[in-house]
Amino acid sequence: MSVVYIFIFILGAIAGSTIEAFIYRRNNFKSFVFGRSKCESCNHIIPMYYNIPIISYIYLRGKCKYCNSKISIFNFLCELSGGVLFALAFHKYGFNVYFLFRLFEIILLLLIAFNDLNEMYIHIVDVVLLFVVELLFKIYSGASIYSSIKPMILLFLFYSIIYILTKSVGEGDIVLGAVSGFFGSNLYEGFVIFRDSFIIAAIVSVFLMVFKYKRREDNIAFCPYIVIGILRMIL
């Protein structure tokens, strides 16, 4: 069984690496099908043996082999997150259709979170796809869709009020926040997702400010914390 977990972890790490590559290529209007990976600083093509998820980043100590420029830590974090989350999904669901649904959702959630971390915005089409996959999951599992619409509406109102009163969240946060409510099967679970997102965001924000990574007036990507709230609910 441990071999299976290792295999699932490797698949998740590969998925995480692919997600980061997709984010870069989509946001820079480059083909995802054609063209090889290269350093953003020196444009040197990266050989496959320096493109191994997680391992290459550690071996290269987070720097380009050719020009010594820093490789984004988000690459490593996305690969590691993909591996861990795939393994957690397999641990909870086993190998079945529910597991496959969750893998698709994990991929979309990582795509949304790391796009926001990289670019400070999200693509609404990713959130729509996430909603569609969860809708299909509920239809397949026989779960009540009506019961999930109520927390979805509640969280839409919560995030809209926060946006109107404080402007501390963005329009993308409102959309993703509303969809996060759809992952709850009742109002309480929707509130738990909302609560967890804000608690984790507050803890991380304080940490970043204490250690001078962020200033109080700096914008902080909030979608990753909504994503964490969703992941805590489904895993």
Which amino acid is located at 64 in the chain? C
Alpha helices in 60-214 (DSSP H): 73-93, 97-119, 124-141, 145-166, 171-181, 187-210
| Of 58, 52, 51, nearest in space to 73 by CA | 58
What's the whole-model pTM score? 0.95
When pLDDT is cut at 50, 70 and 90, the band that residue 208 belongs to is confident
Domain ranges of the chain: 1-95, 122-235
pLDDT at 1: 64
pLDDT at 76: 96
In this prediction, residues 36-50 reach a mean pLDDT of 83
| Of 105, 173, 177, nearest in space to 138 by CA | 105
Q: Return the percentage of the chain with pLDDT > 90, whole number.
A: 77
Q: How far apart are CA 165 and CA 101, in angstroms?
A: 36
